[in-house]
Structure 1
Amino acid sequence: MKQKPLILVTNDDGITAPGLRTLIKIMNEIGQVVVVAPDSPQSAMGHAITINSTLYSDKIRIDDGPQVEYSCSGTPADCVKLAVNEILKEKPDLCVSGINHGSNSSINVIYSGTMSAAVEAGIEGIPAIGFSLCDYSWDANFEAIQEHVKQITNSAIKNGLPKGVVLNVNFPKLSEEKIKGIKICRQARATWMEEFDKRTNPQGREYYWLTGKFVNLDKGEDTDEWALENGYVSVVPVQFDLTAHHTIQDLNTWNLND
């Protein structure tokens, strides 16, 4: 009998986050689970890694279950690097990251620690999925999406993922019966209209709080934003080769060597 798949579980909200605890429970039904997650929240860290300070990892136990758990003082990308190179004795069959408290759709994928962990796994040649729920509350209801998480995970294990591709999965904030289904999408063209709230501390030094409004500039009905707004789970295949291949021919007309 084939051994259960080895699944690496991580996130960016921290090892105690309810979204991660839910994901661990789901993955325990599918495979052999090892958790390596940040010891504190690391949201919006992008693909940052720790190179100028020490990195710590401790084996811990938070919830009952067969999973093996480690907390890490670093970023989500650090967690994957440490897991692959130090903690695990073999490369995992799958890495899942999340379930994030908040959206990682559209341009948010660039800033996301959740997705950067999945991308780091992909760079290591590990099939990977980032899961996010469009609800920033710590008490978000993850029960409604558990079957969909399981379905997508099992499909990825069964069918495999193309080399160099990871999945960015976002769930609308809806009850299970109101979720219409799953759509394979492209990333919507959107941006943040950013503002800085400028203040002065008691010592007279100025400081800033970053604020902003998310603006969807894309009217297409094949995007992740459209899917989420219309009650569907969005699944976007993401590649970490950032080359704009379609512009190479045009750039060659610049004759830069003349």
Structure 2
Amino acid sequence: MNILITNDDGIYSPGIAALSRIAGHFGKVRVVAPDVEQSSMGHAITHSRPLSYKKSPITFEGIDAFRVNGTPADCVALGLHMYPDTEVVLSGINMGPNLGNSMWHSGTLAAAKQAVLLGIKGVALSTPVGKQEPDFEGLAPFVEESLKLLLKDNALGLYNVNFPPKPEGLRWTRQSVRLYDGNVVPGEDPMGRRHYWITVSPLEPAEEGTDRWAVENNLVSITPLRLDLTNEAELAQKSHKLL
């Protein structure tokens, strides 16, 4: 299997190095990732300037690895151009969760979505980060088990995978869509200039069976997604009124 790996934390992230090592058990790995961090970039595409890539200055254990002056979605588009024989795109392992409503602005998930838009299976992988870096060695068996589950067939699909710090099992889940509280927190830099942090926090407990609930209960959350955002129930209701 030919595997393209990217992320939104940038080429120097320990998460992409860990994923590259594990993915090597499943096939030939290539890495095409942003040259700087692109977290929360969403599905931005660069169109007002040309893209370029350079060979990565860090070693990926014999893997072809390149850094791109663009977004995660750019990296997938360029990577699939460079490697048209790619069969699956893996994005991550992200330093921070991508659960519930955070899917909307996740650069990690956007890379996987870009793959599916171009006809290639896409898998996004994320884990929370605290005062210390995630224990990628400890997560490795669960990352491998998740990939074994998702890569066993060639069907086109989009998947969002989140690992708790210390997993105890895997669970298929749905997205948590409960409301988040968006806060703008003012602050001041050492020069006395005002600045602002945008933060979010869930307003309600997670519902059982959702991605947030799974991670809060030490389970790996695997959520199958789709590109079609149509509200089928409302469409049927509105269409009926026009008849």
TM over 0.5: yes
Check whether the contact 1:28–1:67 (CA below 8 A) recurs between aligned residues. no
Check whether the contact 2:139–2:165 (CA below 8 A) recurs between aligned residues. no
Question: 5+ unaligned residues in a row in structure 2: which ranges?
Answer: none
Q: From the superposition, tell whether residues 233 and 203 of structure 1 become closer, same or farther in structure 2 (CA, over 3 Å).
A: closer
Work out which of the residue numbers 33, 39, 44 in structure 2 matches 1:43.
Answer: 39
CA distances 1:98-146 after superposition (whole Å, capped 9, x unpaired): 0000010111111100000001001111111111011155722111111
Once residues 209 and 138 of structure 1 are traced to their aligned partners in structure 2, the CA distance between those partners, rounded to angstroms, is: 24
Work out which of the residue numbers 211, 222, 233 in structure 2 matches 1:235.
Answer: 222
Question: 5+ unaligned residues in a row in structure 1: which ranges?
Answer: none
Superposition RMSD in Å: 2.3
Do structure 1's residue 212 and structure 2's residue 191 form an aligned pair? Answer: no
Instruction: Look up the equivalent residue of 2:168 and give its one-letter code.
Output: K
Aligned pairs, how many? 243
CA distances 1:11-62 after superposition (whole Å, capped 9, x unpaired): 0000000001111111122211110000000000000010112322112241
Partner SS for 1:44: coil
Do structure 1's residue 171 and structure 2's residue 163 form an aligned pair? Answer: yes
Q: From the superposition, tell whether residues 36 and 220 of structure 1 become closer, same or farther in structure 2 (CA, over 3 Å).
A: same
The equivalent of 1:132 in structure 2 is 126
What TM-score does the superposition give when structure 2 sets the normalisation length? 0.91
The equivalent of 1:91 in structure 2 is 85
Work out which of the residue numbers 61, 65, 72 in structure 1 matches 2:68.
Answer: 72
How many angstroms does 1:228 deviate by? 0.8
The equivalent of 2:211 in structure 1 is 224
Q: From the superposition, tell whether residues 134 and 200 of structure 1 become closer, same or farther in structure 2 (CA, over 3 Å).
A: closer
Once residues 241 and 32 of structure 2 are traced to their aligned partners in structure 1, the CA distance between those partners, rounded to angstroms, is: 47
Q: Which residues of 2 match residues 95-114 of structure 1 at below 5 A?
A: 95-114=89-108
How many angstroms does 1:66 deviate by? 2.4
The equivalent of 2:148 in structure 1 is 154
How many angstroms does 1:209 deviate by? 1.7
Check whether the contact 2:189–2:195 (CA below 8 A) recurs between aligned residues. no
Check whether the contact 1:26–1:150 (CA below 8 A) recurs between aligned residues. yes
Identity of aligned residues (%): 33
Do structure 1's residue 181 and structure 2's residue 169 form an aligned pair? Answer: yes
Check whether the contact 2:128–2:134 (CA below 8 A) recurs between aligned residues. no
Once residues 202 and 66 of structure 1 are traced to their aligned partners in structure 2, the CA distance between those partners, rounded to angstroms, is: 44
How many angstroms does 1:10 deviate by? 0.2
What TM-score does the superposition give when structure 1 sets the normalisation length? 0.86
Higher mean displacement: 194-203 or 66-75? 194-203
Do structure 1's residue 20 and structure 2's residue 16 form an aligned pair? Answer: yes
The equivalent of 2:182 in structure 1 is 194
